[in-house]
A and B are shown apart, each in its own frame.
Chain A
Amino acid sequence: MKKISTPYLLLLPGFAFLFTFFILPIVNLAQVSTQTPIEGGDTGEFKQTLRFSNYVDAFLDSREQFGRSLVYALVATLIALAIAYPLAYGLAFKAGRFKNILLVLVVAPFFVSFLLRTVAWKQILGENGFVVPTLRSLGILSESTTITSTAFAVITGMAYNFLPFMTLPLYASIDRIDPRTLEASGDLYANGFTTFRKVTLPLSMPGVVAGTLLTFIPAAGDYVNAEILGGPNNTMVGNVIQSRFLVSDYPATSSISFILMAAILVIVTIYIRKAGTDEVV
């Protein structure tokens, strides 16, 4: 009897907390999403009318931002993967006795505040930085082109900011690979590329899945990179949610949030099925 109840007792405080401050707010959000303004009421006053077309309106009003969020997040995730995979591979197999110190260095930049780093990128890539004048004098960039206030700046900013979320799970799963399996593959006449494709990559799949999810999800909901590094043509769903909330348009905030969450959950579910791994958590 005692044995059976132990796990539930351990779960109770944490789950009571998560239920109150995570599940309940989401349920409340669902409830608010179908409300409409009270006629003649103040701003921010709404009543429940089960108006499900709020969702249609929300989607149509911000479909550009939805598209941008998904595309930017996807490209940023792929860039982060391209940077982090060889880095994690090198850390696991080539770093030798420097492994621990290099691992610390991967995470270290992220103790300088996220906003400070993003603002630093803005200065470095901006008009007063050294990158733009150099590229202009080399004739690579024309006088009228800028790097900041473009999709490029927003995407690379996100790829940079979420890089540790990609690198750490990748490192964890690559480091678990027994180097002898790679040697065995070489002994069986596989060249480097074949070994990577048929041995290393499949064995590191749990890390790839975890890393891409931990990058894609925050990137899709981000608005700070778009606000600091982007221009008026680079706004994302996060910016819409933020600005709707500021003008107390809670039904729109809620329905856009729900569409974003649903889109992410669908993408994540399909992705986990396709990648064929359940070991995300």
Chain B
Amino acid sequence: MSHKQKDASIPTLPLKAVISRWIGRNLIRIYMIAAFIYLFIPVAYTFAFSFNDSGKSNLVWKGFTFGNWANPCGAPRICEALGNSVKIGFLSTLFATFLGTLIAFALGRYAFKGRSTSNLLVFLPMATPEIVMGASLLSLFLVFHISPGFWPTVIAHVVFCVSFVVVTVKARIASLDPRLEQAAMDLYANEFETFRRITLPLVAPGIAAAALLAFSLSFDDFIITNFNSGNVTTFPKFIYISALRGIPAQANVIGSAMFFLALAIVIVGQAVTRKRKIS
């Protein structure tokens, strides 16, 4: 009853309707904020616990310290693991980007017999679960009496990175305006010059994005690495092994530092491309 009276006295929309209309209009934005909070909860947790004065096991909050950040290599073998991850990531990115870019040019630029089979061969590694790839590769290494370790891990990483490089670079090639190359040819540039001065610079951002993707896939891989790395420990493997006894806070320091480093690289990269666009 009182509700009706209120409506009569104030000739505006009832509060409920105002709120629901506002929510309706901003639903996507509210949803995005919620999604970002969800995305960042474990990141915030990891970052917060990098300041935990925890000793060996980082399970319960014991007090604030900068000690872990001052001494990120304080936990035994953690920096050795990080170094291995960086080395493996760098080498596999190099090989995968080279091989993948060549394949992307072949598939993106030429019509040839066997093109669809080639596309399938590129797609298959992406459709294969990592665990199958890891197990099958290790069985092959064992057949040839190659013991798992550093190089087998690099090879394994190149296998699953190549396809992602091909897809990324191919998308960039497909988005190029073919008239730019025709114009270069019209201006008497030969095929090689056109490629070097027009095509390659235009595709370069795609290759850079592919390399960044390959590195992050390699750096973060655990399943395939666990099969093929033998007694070489990478950073994810270090976390997996120490998870049983409690992960040292230094792992949180390195995880957080990687996060900020990646963020910085991408932001600087974007600033550079924007500057280039303006000039």
Contacts and interface: CB of A to CB of B under 8 A. Distances in A.
A34 interface: no
Contacts of A8: 106, 112
Given A110-B216, A111-B262, A257 B106 contact: no
B119 interface: yes
A22 B42 contact: no
B135 A17 contact: no
Interface stretch (B10-18, B181-189, B239-247): B239-247
Nearest to B47: A112
B243 A228 contact: yes
Interface in A98-121: 100-102, 104-117, 119-121
A138 interface: no
Contacts of B46: 112, 116-117, 120
Chain B interface residue number, banded: 35 or more
Contacts of A4: 112
Interface string B257-275: 0110111001100100000
B106 A119 contact: no
Interface residues of A, number: 80
B94 interface: no
Contacts of B139: 25, 28-29, 32, 250, 253-254
Interface of B: 28-29, 31-32, 35-36, 38-43, 45-46, 49, 59-60, 98-100, 102-103, 105-107, 109-110, 112, 115, 118-119, 121-133, 135-140, 143, 155-156, 158-159, 162, 166-167, 170, 216, 219-220, 222-223, 227, 235-236, 239-240, 243, 247, 251-252, 255-256, 258-259, 261-263, 266-267, 270
Given A14-B103, A15-B118, A113-B220, 4 more contacts: A28-B140, A111-B263, A116-B255, A160-B42
Interface of A: 4, 6-8, 10-11, 13-15, 17-18, 21-26, 28-29, 32, 83-84, 86-87, 89-91, 93-95, 100-102, 104-117, 119-121, 123-124, 128, 160, 163, 213-214, 217-218, 220-224, 228, 238, 241-242, 245, 250, 253-254, 257, 260-261, 264-265, 268, 280-281
